[in-house]
């Protein structure tokens, strides 16, 4: 596929604008055997809304393993001293750890989970690799907001991602409710690209990972998108997974509730959509934020089998 | 009633602590004729939860009038230059206008609305006056959070309010939904007083009205309160009203949604609960934040009659 860069210019200090999406949302793909990938209704919802949520995608034991692994990482002083670890603005709490699929064996296996690969390959119509991965820890009481943004806008401008052919997968490690700043998405917003105003400063990523000030859409277009499709918030039990298109407008409010909100975030990009040079003479962002050198098409790895108490009893 | 100041000491740099409430929630009161005041079920809910919400308390025409009046005030340069007007931290947007019941004839009449007086007199078992009033304008996109607090903790320490015998009334001028940072309350929290740690700086109010840093409860006790009674968020149409006890723990998250959230806030205090000196040699806060000099028991004033289209047709 030829990179389409013209329509998605952004941050050139011009007027904000709304541009129609050029690419498909669901790419042509081989049919999967029944029971694998998204079913037709889920795929339709993903195509129309720009996201689909699946409850109980992972079981309690798997989630317990992920949480333990994340806890281990967040209390590893060597690891939290690395640049992959991002702290809350004005605080010492860990907000995110990037590149978990390279820093942890368990999360490396997770990234190659057969069900995740089935779904992301189905949507993107090709083999896939991890463009970015991270764990987000939104602490109780003091979790800060993430302002509205399209991930693709950033990945296109700052990373040179050519086309809208990536899907994000957010795995809930904690229950998400209306009180702890759940992910909010604008259904249908993935069908338009919002050009943002303002240039990108050098080394913008260091600040933007803590609080975003550039590449933010203007209020008028956000209002239009919200009028068009409303807002949906992703609530559900730990273990639920939401897949959303790289151009779906999303954000989250602060979290003053006592309930922390943690999730794992894996971005699958098509191997036919690898990165070009960033726009406007920006230096490429580090590899841990945007995979450029180490592109590896993923092959499925079966997850570890969890013995249920029932299974143990019948042995 | 003798002022009870001992149990509710706070901000004395001691340990945080939870203290049982000394006073009733609903005070002994004369029985109102049927159809006036809260009905027995509503009164029971208020007593148990520390709040009660009533949908469609005000009709669309009344709300339109209130909004128009507030719009007029917020665009009156003379008025917004006064100290009663508080702006968002780090911005120029108006966050609150205090003392609306003295700055506006319409809101002065609103404060004396017969239904509001019936309910607040019923709860407090005496005649009432306005301890504080304000309009809160939480703008879309950039509304900031209000951290958890008990109003009484502040009014007791900073204003010398003797006892828990005040009720707050919040009138929704906009729809409140899960996206625009609705009021969150902890049911049952009004039955305990949480002593806060840390001294109060002089002139604390100037900062605290923008973002509160003192008189905030500790995470452990907040978690206990949330485990005990959960969290409730006040959603509903414009025109709904929530009455909540002065000691009910409450707060709200940020609002990145395009939907602004405005409300009018009237605090009714019992005429038997007028202010003493503030604690710890603090100077009294200004009259527009805490009525000290101009205590006037309120008498009901009938609101203006709105002609509905139906009424117009049948004439």
Looking up residue B283, the CATH number of its domain turns out to be: 2.60.120.620
Query: Which tops the pLDDT comparison, A199 or A76?
Result: A76
Give me the domain span that covers residue A129. Answer: 50-313
- Overall average pLDDT of the B52-57 stretch: 98
Distance of alpha carbon B120 from alpha carbon A205, whole angstroms = 53
Whether A44 is covered by a domain: the verdict is no
Whether B308 is covered by a domain: the verdict is yes
Whether B8 is covered by a domain: the verdict is no
Phi–psi pair at A123, nearest 5 degrees: -70, -40
What DSSP state is assigned to residue B12? S
Put simply, the answer to whether A254 touches B253 (Cβ < 8 Å) is: yes
Residue B185 predicted with pLDDT over 90: yes
**Model pLDDT, residue A312:** 46
**Model pLDDT, residue A210:** 56
- Three-state SS at A2: coil
* Alpha carbon of residue B301 to chain centroid: 21
Distance of alpha carbon B43 from alpha carbon B32, whole angstroms = 12
Whether B23 is covered by a domain: the verdict is no
B256 touches chain A (CB under 8 A): yes
Residue pair A273/A69 in contact by the 8 Å Cβ criterion: no
Distance of alpha carbon A42 from alpha carbon B110, whole angstroms = 51
- Summarised one tens digit per residue, pLDDT across range A245-298 is 999 999 999 999 999 999 999 999 999 999 999 988 889 999 999 999 999 999
Put simply, the answer to whether B233 touches A258 (Cβ < 8 Å) is: no
Whether A41 is covered by a domain: the verdict is no
Question: What is the average pLDDT score of chain A?
Answer: 90
Dig out the tokens for B25 from the structure: 């929630």
Distance of alpha carbon A116 from alpha carbon B23, whole angstroms = 57
Question: Where residue A149 falls among pLDDT bands split at 50, 70, 90?
Answer: very high
Element (H, E) at A129: strand A128-138
Q: What residues have CB less than 8 Å from B71, skipping those under 6 apart?
A: none
Q: What residues have CB less than 8 Å from B12, skipping those under 6 apart?
A: B199, B280
Element (H, E) at B224: helix B219-229
Min Cα–Cα distance to chain B from A51, Å: 18
Q: For a pLDDT cut of 90, what percent of chain A falls above it?
A: 75
Question: Where residue A308 falls among pLDDT bands split at 50, 70, 90?
Answer: low
B130 touches chain A (CB under 8 A): no
Provide the angle, in degrees to the nearest 10, between the axes of the packed helices B114-124 and B40-49: 60
Question: What is the average pLDDT score of chain B?
Answer: 90
Least confident residue range of B161-175, B210-224, B245-259: B210-224
Put simply, the answer to whether A256 touches B256 (Cβ < 8 Å) is: no
B187 touches chain A (CB under 8 A): no
Whether B14 is covered by a domain: the verdict is no
**Cβ–Cβ contacts within 10 Å for residue A226, how many?**
21
- Summarised one tens digit per residue, pLDDT across range B59-107 is 999 999 999 999 999 999 999 999 999 887 766 778 899 999 999 999 9
The total of structural domains in chain A comes to 1
pTM of the model as a whole: 0.88
Whether B287 is covered by a domain: the verdict is yes
Residue pair A253/B256 in contact by the 8 Å Cβ criterion: yes
Distance of alpha carbon A284 from alpha carbon A276, whole angstroms = 9
Beta bridge partners of B250: B149, B185
Query: What was the ipTM of the complex prediction?
Result: 0.85
Whether B32 is covered by a domain: the verdict is no
Chain A segment 202-241 residues within 8 A of B by beta carbon are 219, 222-223, 226, 231, 233
**Model pLDDT, residue B183:** 96
Torsion of CA B15, B152, B47, B187, to 10 degrees: -60
């Amino acid at each position: 596929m030829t990179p389409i860069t013209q329509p998605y210019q952004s941050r050139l200090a011009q007027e904000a604008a709304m541009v129609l999406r050029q690419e498909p949302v669901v790419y042509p793909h081989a049919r999967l055997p029944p029971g694998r990938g998204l079913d037709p209704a889920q795929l339709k919802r993903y195509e129309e809304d720009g996201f689909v949520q699946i409850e109980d995608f992972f079981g309690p034991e798997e989630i317990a393993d992920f949480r333990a692994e994340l806890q281990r990482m967040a209390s590893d002083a060597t690891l939290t001293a690395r640049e992959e670890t991002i702290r809350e603005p004005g605080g010492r709490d860990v907000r995110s750890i990037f590149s978990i699929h390279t820093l942890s064996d368990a999360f490396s296996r997770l990234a190659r989970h057969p069900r995740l690969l089935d779904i992301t390959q189905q949507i993107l119509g090709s083999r896939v690799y991890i463009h970015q991965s991270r764990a987000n820890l939104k602490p109780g009481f003091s979790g800060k907001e993430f302002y509205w943004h399209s991930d693709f806008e950033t990945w296109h401008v700052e990373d040179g991602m050519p086309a809208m052919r990536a899907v994000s997968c957010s795995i809930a490690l904690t229950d998400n409710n209306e009180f702890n700043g759940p992910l909010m998405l604008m259904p249908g917003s993935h069908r338009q690209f919002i050009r943002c105003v303002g240039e990108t400063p050098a080394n913008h990523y260091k600040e933007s990972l803590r609080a975003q000030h550039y590449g933010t859409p203007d209020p008028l277009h956000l209002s239009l998108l919200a009028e068009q499709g409303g807002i949906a918030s992703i609530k559900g039990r730990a273990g639920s997974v939401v897949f959303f298109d790289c151009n779906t407008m999303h954000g989250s409010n602060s979290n003053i509730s006592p309930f922390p909100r943690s999730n794992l975030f894996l971005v699958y990009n098509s191997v036919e959509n690898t990165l070009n040079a960033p726009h406007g003479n920006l230096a490429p962002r580090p590899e841990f934020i945007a995979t450029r050198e180490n592109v590896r098409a993923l092959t499925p790895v079966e997850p570890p089998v969890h013995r249920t108490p029932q299974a143990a009893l019948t042995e």
